[in-house]
């Protein structure tokens, strides 16, 4: 299989291969494997979260409550940093 | 009533986003969260304005973007359900390197390697006192970890420079003994040095 890249992507790949001393093909293999893993992982996360709500296993948080929680968290974090 | 609800895990999604941006500016982090919430609010009158991503889900979800974040929601529910707010692009590290996705911070934050009870090695970004790790000594490791399935291939010394090859997974409440199994490496974190990591071959 032959894969073509735009010049900027090719340049990045060449640079990474040079920096790491690893063959470009090996880097590409890792990248593709990682991509598939990420897609599968994300798909599982999204589907399971939807199923959680649909089945009633998990109680949703209302929009107002989420805003309040996030405001409180932000204030607490910033207070910690001072 | 806002017209939208959240899966409880979305609170953690927001926390990751806020923490990542707040390293530079808490105000910018607040603004980014507010922008995302405004984007969600704008979905309510026309919930089907988002696009489909059948490669990402087998459920009736739609997606919309704000900044670098992907908002996944269920348009047919009333109130509308927001199921995830996630990074859609690799997060740039402070030194400009790409470090993967989903709130993975740069190597200037503490990085730990530990051996889990299944014998596997894990690389973890530890947020002491935060949501990801309980206390300085940590009774247990929870939630998001950076996992390098090819860690032996990458080599420990190169992990900090090769986090793009790592991936973030939700390990749930993986039982580990961090006091005996955690090993420190990384740069510029100033926490506490640990013993050298003895990698399996």
Of B33 and B156, the structure prediction assigns the larger pLDDT to B33
Task: For chain B, give the mean pLDDT.
Answer: 59
Q: Which residue of A has its CA nearest to B53?
A: A43
Angle between helices A63-81 and B26-43 (to 10 degrees): 170
**Using a CB-CB distance cutoff of 8 angstroms, which residues of chain A are in contact with residue B2?**
62-64, 67
Residues 73-112 of B with CB under 8 A from A: 74, 77, 79, 81, 83-84, 86, 101
Of B159 and A18, the structure prediction assigns the larger pLDDT to A18
pTM listed for this prediction: 0.58
Residue B200 is predicted with a pLDDT of 34
Which of B37, B59, B72 comes nearest A67 by C-beta?
A: B37
Count the neighbouring beta carbons within 10 Å of the beta carbon of residue B87: 20
Strand ranges for chain B from DSSP E: 4-6, 62-66, 69-74, 80-87, 111-115, 121-125, 144-147, 167-170, 182-185
**Using a CB-CB distance cutoff of 8 angstroms, which residues of chain A are in contact with residue B14?**
66, 70
pLDDT band at B195 (very low <50, low <70, confident <90, very high): very low
Mean pLDDT, rounded, for A43-59: 95
Q: DSSP assignment of B19-37, as one string?
A: HHHHTT-HHHHHHHHHHHH
Distance of CA B118 to the CA centre of its chain: 22
Of A25 and B154, the structure prediction assigns the larger pLDDT to A25
pLDDT band at B152 (very low <50, low <70, confident <90, very high): very low
Continuous segment of H or E residues that includes residue A18: helix A7-20
Residue A73 is predicted with a pLDDT of 93
Residue A31 is predicted with a pLDDT of 81
Residue A28 is predicted with a pLDDT of 86
Residue A23 is predicted with a pLDDT of 86
Rounded to whole angstroms, the Cα distance separating A23 from B16 reads: 34
Rounded to whole angstroms, the Cα distance separating A79 from A15 reads: 43
Which of A37, A39, A46 comes nearest B83 by C-beta?
A: A46
pLDDT band at B98 (very low <50, low <70, confident <90, very high): very low
pLDDT digits (tens, 9 = 90+) for A4-45: 888 888 988 888 888 778 888 888 888 888 778 778 888 999
Residue B88 is predicted with a pLDDT of 67
pLDDT digits (tens, 9 = 90+) for B1-39: 689 999 999 999 999 888 888 877 888 899 999 999 999
Mean pLDDT, rounded, for B171-192: 32
Quote the ipTM score.
0.80
**pLDDT(B154) > 50:** no
Cβ atoms of B3 and A63 closer than 8 Å:
yes
| Widest distance between CA atoms in chain A | 56
pLDDT band at B103 (very low <50, low <70, confident <90, very high): very low
Rounded to whole angstroms, the Cα distance separating B52 from B47 reads: 12
pLDDT digits (tens, 9 = 90+) for B63-96: 999 888 899 999 999 999 999 998 764 433 333 2
Burial of B85 (0-12, 13-18, 19+ CB in 10 A): buried
pLDDT band at A62 (very low <50, low <70, confident <90, very high): very high
């Amino acid at each position: 299989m032959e894969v073509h890249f735009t010049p900027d992507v090719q340049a990045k790949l060449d640079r990474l291969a040079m920096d790491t001393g690893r063959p470009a093909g090996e880097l590409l293999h890792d990248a593709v494997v990682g991509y598939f893993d990420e897609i599968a992982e994300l798909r599982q996360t999204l589907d399971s979260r939807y199923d959680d709500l649909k089945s009633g296993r998990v109680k949703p948080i209302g929009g107002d409550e989420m805003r309040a929680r996030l405001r409180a968290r932000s204030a607490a974090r910033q207070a910690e940093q001072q | 009533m806002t017209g939208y609800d959240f899966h409880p895990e979305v609170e953690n999604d927001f926390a990751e986003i806020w923490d990542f941006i707040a390293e530079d500016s808490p105000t910018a982090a607040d603004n980014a969260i507010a922008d995302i919430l405004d984007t969600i609010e704008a979905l309510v009158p026309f919930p089907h304005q988002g696009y489909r991503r059948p490669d990402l889900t087998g459920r009736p979800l739609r997606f919309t973007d704000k900044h670098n974040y992907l908002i996944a929601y269920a348009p047919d529910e009333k109130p509308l359900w927001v199921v995830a707010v996630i990074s859609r692009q690799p997060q740039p590290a402070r030194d400009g390197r790409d470090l993967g996705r989903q709130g993975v911070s740069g190597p200037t934050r503490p990085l730990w390697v530990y051996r889990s009870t299944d014998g596997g090695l894990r690389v973890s970004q530890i947020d002491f006192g935060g949501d990801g790790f309980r206390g300085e000594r940590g009774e247990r490791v929870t939630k998001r970890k950076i996992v390098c399935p090819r860690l032996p291939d990458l080599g420990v010394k190169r992990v900090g420079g090769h986090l793009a090859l790592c991936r973030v997974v939700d390990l749930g409440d993986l039982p580990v003994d961090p006091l005996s199994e955690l090993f420190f490496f990384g740069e510029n974190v100033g926490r506490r040095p640990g013993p050298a990591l003895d990698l399996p071959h």
